[in-house]
Amino acid sequence: MSKGDRQRSLSVPLRLISDGQLNWSATVPAAALLEPESRDTLRIADVEVPLDSDVGVALALELISGGLSVAGEVRAAWTGPCARCWLPVDGEVRTTVREVFTAEPHEGEQYGLGPEFADLAPMVREAVLLELPIEAIRCPHPEPCPNLPAELAEAHEDAAEGGPAEFADPRWEALEALRGRSDETT
């Protein structure tokens, strides 16, 4: 954010790396991480990065033998449903990257480098997707939720009160409601 180096692009003109080093801080909409014509989303299971949310990077670029070294921090917002009550939970990814960009990259180890630009979007996209939570998300709601699935209930509740509770997956609530309605009409 300092000295006016905030950018709106993840495409870095290599000519700016005049003395071999460049700090690149950028904030872009998450949609900028996708391929131009891609219909992809930034999603792992039920957790996604909203395409209109901000993704921030603070990176140090350095020319090295055979390419460009890129290291620094990547931040992004995510949203996903609480495993207990299905209400949306918001969170933030904050991770560090250290990668090499080169004209002839080794697949899966390095990123491609064009003759004039370094496109940082694929690296940022992968860094963000790798850090999205894959475990069950919990909202901060303090009470044991009646919709809590049994396997999560055991981990969450120290002592269950009363008899065995019936836990329903909230995703099935709509279906149950429909079923109930059709029972009434028949």
Under the rule (CB under 5 A), what is the footprint of Zn ion?
82, 84-85, 139, 141
Which residues does 50 contact at the CB level (< 8 Å), separation at least 6?
30, 77, 79
In angstroms, the CA 72 to CA 61 distance is 9
Q: Give backbone dihedrals phi and psi of 175, rounded to 5 degrees, phi first.
A: -65, -45
Nearest approach in angstroms of CB 76 to Zn ion is 22
- CA 98, 74, 56 angle in degrees (round to 5)? 140
Nearest approach in angstroms of CB 136 to Zn ion is 10
Nearest approach in angstroms of CB 183 to Zn ion is 29
Of the two residues 10 and 82, which places its CB atom closer to Zn ion in the complex? 82
Nearest approach in angstroms of CB 147 to Zn ion is 8
Of the two residues 16 and 172, which places its CB atom closer to Zn ion in the complex? 172
Of the two residues 94 and 141, which places its CB atom closer to Zn ion in the complex? 141
In angstroms, the CA 180 to CA 161 distance is 28
Query: What is the rounded (10 degree) CA torsion for 170, 171, 174, 178?
Result: -110
Q: Give backbone dihedrals phi and psi of 123, rounded to 5 degrees, phi first.
A: -65, -45
Nearest approach in angstroms of CB 150 to Zn ion is 16
Of the two residues 85 and 165, which places its CB atom closer to Zn ion in the complex? 85
Of the two residues 141 and 181, which places its CB atom closer to Zn ion in the complex? 141
Cα–Cα distances (Å) from 90 to 20, 87, 152, 166, in that order, read: 39, 10, 20, 28
